[in-house]
Amino acid sequence: MELVADRRDVFTVEAVTANRNVRLLAEQARLVGARFAAVADPSSYRDLKEALWGTNIEAAAGPAAVIEAADRPAEWVMASIVGAAGLEPTMAAVRRGATIALANKECLVSAGEVMVAEVERCGARLIPVDSEHSAIFQVFDFENADRVEALILTASGGPFRTFDVEAMAGVSPEQAVAHPNWDMGAKISVDSATMMNKGLELIEAFHLFPVEAENIQIVVHPQSVIHSLVAYVDGSVLAQLGTPDMRTPIAYALAWPNRMRTPAPRLRLTDIASLTFEEPDETRFPALRLARHALHSGGTAPTVLNAANEVAVHSFLARDISFPQISSVVEETLEALPNRPLETLADVFDADLEARDWARTLVSNTFARAVGSG
């Protein structure tokens, strides 16, 4: 919003959306002169209407209104609704051939095969906004993709990078959302703490770039300065570096194929002095193993992985399960549900719903046992 607001002479904002925060939605709609504002919570319509009183901004509420926002005639759409809830609005923008700045991992995790096929059919374009995928996009030679040997996704390691298994058993939601480098929402922060975010990014990278799954690597890089790398067959490894500031990848997606100036802090390598790298530990962070297994399994497995993880993270934040039980709920859900082909969006929603129901049952049973033993 800051980048667009500073360039009102360049960008015209068609629509903005929010989940429940009517006050901020109205404030931002006024800031950028949006034509349409939608809040996902249907009960918030009256509040949004009042907050926009005196403007020409059209107000709407409910899930259908959010989809309508994505379906309006904007050339460029930022898809940043967290979780599977962003799938339908993003698909609406894809189907009218828009350029999608994709900040929602779950769209390609839950429905990668379906979405990629729809992007090709409708002539839409995906530009990744995740810092890791944006980094790869900036240095990937699409015209000579067969010369790419590997993608290397970097991971900060999260707040528990040095914790042992016993220490992680007692961490709190407050500790999990305190990311060392990035200011993110609760769900994404917990995903970073479990390293599930890197597992989701692994699956996303597979759908974004023409590489084999086994050629996507993950390396822990605590400084978050190198955002990702591309290795080529001649031994060259190209990296994109920058300060951990999301304005940079967002600006790249906004201005592509050009670049625009941002107020992001400039990188001073001499101030950083050293960059370090580690192998990820899949024993302490089993989410990485689960994500790679889901990617290799294909079908509905990634959809189930994502849905079960959303339920588990929500349950952890509600203090119903412990931090290590997040991965346990995901693994047990993957083992319990049959893997089916994924051909339509309806298949995605069916698998998502089934996985959520199963994961909630697991959480309920876990919580009941914990209360009983307590």
3-state secondary structure 80-111: CCCCHHHHHHHHHHHHCCCEEEECCHHHHHHH
Residue 178: predicted pLDDT: 82
Mean pLDDT of 176-188: 75
> What's the N-to-C CA distance of the chain in angstroms?
47
Partners of 352 in beta bridges: none
- Average pLDDT over the chain reads 94
- The reported pTM is 0.91
Residue 188: predicted pLDDT: 87
Q: Please choose, from the candidates 134, 144, 126, the residue with its C-alpha nearest in 3D space to the C-alpha of residue 226.
A: 134
Q: Crossing angle, helix 287-297 and helix 196-208, to 10 degrees? A: 30
Q: What is the per-residue pLDDT across 320-357, written as a single tens digit (0 to 9) for each?
A: 999 999 999 999 999 999 999 999 999 999 999 999 99
> In the chain, what are the domains?
2-128 (3.40.50.720), 131-281 (no CATH), 298-374 (1.10.1740.10)
Contact 128, 102 (CB under 8 A): yes
Q: How sure is the predictor about 374, in pLDDT bands with cuts at 50, 70 and 90?
A: low
Q: How sure is the predictor about 366, in pLDDT bands with cuts at 50, 70 and 90?
A: confident
Q: How sure is the predictor about 183, in pLDDT bands with cuts at 50, 70 and 90?
A: low
Q: What is the per-residue pLDDT across 272-319, written as a single tens digit (0 to 9) for each?
A: 889 999 999 999 999 999 999 999 999 999 999 999 999 999 999 999
Whole-angstrom Cα distance, residue 349 to residue 331? 20
Q: Please choose, from the candidates 201, 37, 83, the residue with its C-alpha nearest in 3D space to the C-alpha of residue 134.
A: 201
- Hey, what's the torsion of the CAs at 216, 222, 224, 229, to 10 degrees? -30
Contact 298, 207 (CB under 8 A): no
Edge to edge, what strands does the sheet with 237-241 contain? Answer: 216-220, 148-155, 226-232, 237-241
Contacts of 207 (CB under 8 A, 6+ apart): 108, 112, 113, 115, 116
Mean pLDDT of 197-214: 96
Q: Containing H/E element for 149?
A: strand 148-155
Contact 89, 18 (CB under 8 A): no
- 3-class secondary structure, 322: coil
Q: Higher-confidence residue: 185 or 74?
A: 74
Query: Which position has the token pair 């302490």?
Result: 284
Cα dihedral 229, 181, 203, 40 sign: negative
Q: Please choose, from the candidates 19, 27, 24, 77, the residue with its C-alpha nearest in 3D space to the C-alpha of residue 55.
A: 27
Contact 133, 205 (CB under 8 A): yes
Q: How sure is the predictor about 372, in pLDDT bands with cuts at 50, 70 and 90?
A: low
Whole-angstrom Cα distance, residue 352 to residue 366? 21
Mean pLDDT of 132-146: 97
Q: Please choose, from the candidates 153, 100, 86, the residue with its C-alpha nearest in 3D space to the C-alpha of residue 129.
A: 100
Q: How sure is the predictor about 164, in pLDDT bands with cuts at 50, 70 and 90?
A: very high
By CB atoms closer than 10 A (0-12, 13-18, 19+), residue 148 is buried
- Residue 76 DSSP one-character state: E
Share of the chain above pLDDT 90, in %: 90
Among 108-117, 183-192, 203-212, 276-285, the range scoring the smallest mean pLDDT is: 183-192
By CB atoms closer than 10 A (0-12, 13-18, 19+), residue 70 is buried
User: Over 60: is that where the pLDDT of 373 sits?
Assistant: no
Strands 237-241, 99-102: parallel, antiparallel or unpaired by DSSP? unpaired
Q: Distances in Å between the alpha carbon of 206 and those of 108, 144, 150, 349? A: 9, 17, 11, 21
Q: What is the per-residue pLDDT across 85-128, written as a single tens digit (0 to 9) for each?
A: 899 999 999 999 999 999 988 899 999 999 999 999 999 999 99
Whole-angstrom Cα distance, residue 87 to residue 41? 17
Whole-angstrom Cα distance, residue 322 to residue 126? 36
